[in-house]
Chains A and B, each alone.
Chain A
């Protein structure tokens, strides 16, 4: 089954404790992105990647890191989480950017930073 998976789905942590949210897709997609969703703000793009070792900042990259060492994986790293990073996070992937390409979203990771 074609899918984007994220782990963990729920996480409660404390300020300053490094964490990683994993994202994996099994569709051999080139493009992958991370978004955060906050009430009243919609979704905001954190980082995106166009291929292995090619990443770039979205609109809200501060406090986050990413890496793309393998095509299928695109982990999101919070080196020193803070309460303002409490949010719902989505990973997404797409084969390319053509008119027939579709972006697939993962199920989301709900992060709470105390």
Chain B
């Protein structure tokens, strides 16, 4: 079985501050890990993806995430928040190689305060 836990359903940061969204996973096999963003009334967009290799993954819009096997974590960070980053973020895990069996976390809504 696999699962994802996102700590904090709501996170608020000031514009220009560090963004840190936490994700911990459980998987019986080496995982594939994803972060998605959903803007209001829109579908999901892939931010970044970890499959194998380099544990620090860079994505779109200045986001990055680090796969830490010992901590079973895949936290999402961005050095400086922009107002346009306000959205809901979902962490997800797959054990079957890519997009077959995908399990999502419950999401974290990011609020950016001017």
Contact = CB atoms under 8 A, between A and B. Distances in A.
Contacts of A97: 32, 97-100
Contacts, number: 67
B98 A96 contact: yes
A59 B103 contact: yes
Interface string A35-67: 100001111110010100000101100000000
B101 A101 contact: no
A99 B52 contact: yes
Interface string B8-22: 010000000000000
Contacts of B98: 31, 94, 96-98, 101
A58 B46 CA distance: 19
Interface residues of B, number: 24
A58 B53 contact: no
A111 to B, nearest CB: 15
B87 interface: no
A40 B104 CA distance: 11
Interface residues of A, number: 28
Given A31-B98, A94-B98, A42 B106 contact: yes
A24 interface: no
A74 B88 CA distance: 26
A108 interface: yes
A31 B44 contact: no
Contact of B103 (A45, A48, A94): A45
Interface centre among B9, B97, B99 (most CB of A within 10 A): B99
Contacts of A90: 43-44
Contacts of A105: 43-45
Contacts of B100: 31, 48, 50, 56, 97
Interface string B44-86: 1110010111000000000000000000000000000000000
Interface of B: 9, 32, 42-46, 49, 51-53, 90, 92, 97-107
10 contacts: A42-B90, A43-B44, A48-B101, A50-B100, A58-B101, A94-B98, A94-B99, A96-B98, A97-B98, A106-B43
